[in-house]
Chain A
Amino acid sequence: GNSVTQMEGPVTLSEEAFLTINCTYTATGYPSLFWYVQYPGEGLQLLLKATKADDKGSNKGFEATYRKETTSFHLEKGSVQVSDSAVYFCALTGGGSNYKLTFGKGTLLTVNP
């Protein structure tokens, strides 16, 4: 079946540091890949997405590239801010008509001033 593995947290960084959160996946077919973000006390929001190999999703300074050869979709940001403190979830759909999302366990990011 489909599965998503994220790096274990929590991750603590200083403001303006470089961020990488690793994500690898197992899926049949041609999945679409997503990063969702959950700010404290809120529901999840879509951060970025990629639908095919070598696509790069980007939003709010975050980027992730769909790497089929390594089955990875690592999240990166060049300079994090305190407001980026949140839980980040990597997720995928199984492709085709399968609209269900499979989530990773989430990575808590704390950015200190």
Chain B
Amino acid sequence: NAGVTQTPKFQVLKTGQSMTLQCAQDMNHNSMYWYRQDPGMGLRLIYYSASEGTTDKGEVPNGYNVSRLNKREFSLRLESAAPSQTSVYFCASSANSGGALPGELFFGEGSRLTVL
């Protein structure tokens, strides 16, 4: 099983450039999430989508936009990248229905983004 797949795995941008991180899951999960991981900060939620057709802000949404394209795919867009957005980004998904335990997330391998 592929699980949660993120692309690209590595990206270098210049300040002001835009890019989109792609995420797809093949587990038929309802909910999807974007986190960023920074040294000493743990994981912080950027945006999430509780179900297809809905998106909500997390803890650190500024500078980002998201699209839940369909049940499988959830993309994260940086419209004008800044050095403060240098981070490792993780996409995750969870079932949240049918008896699944809330909080049991499945993570992708991460996308390392550097903004110069």
B2 contacts A by Cβ under 8 Å: no
Smallest CB gap from A33: residue in B: B103
Considering only residues 92-112 of chain B, those with a C-beta below 8 Å from chain A are 92, 94, 96, 101-105, 107-110
A interface, over-half SS: strand
A77 contacts B by Cβ under 8 Å: no
Considering only residues 35-52 of chain B, those with a C-beta below 8 Å from chain A are 40-45, 48, 50
B66 contacts A by Cβ under 8 Å: no
Q: Considering residues B44, B48, B101, which has the most beta carbons from chain A within 10 angstroms of its beta carbon?
A: B101
B4 contacts A by Cβ under 8 Å: yes
C-alpha gap A43/B37 in the complex (Å)? 10
Does B102 contact A98, Cβ atoms closer than 8 Å?
yes
| Interface of B toward A, CB cutoff 8 Å | 4, 31, 33, 40-45, 48, 50, 58, 90, 92, 94, 96, 101-105, 107-110
Does B110 contact A43, Cβ atoms closer than 8 Å?
yes
| Interface of A toward B, CB cutoff 8 Å | 32, 34, 36, 41-46, 49, 51, 89, 91-93, 97-101, 103-106
C-alpha gap A73/B108 in the complex (Å)? 25
CB distance from B59 to the nearest CB of A (A): 9
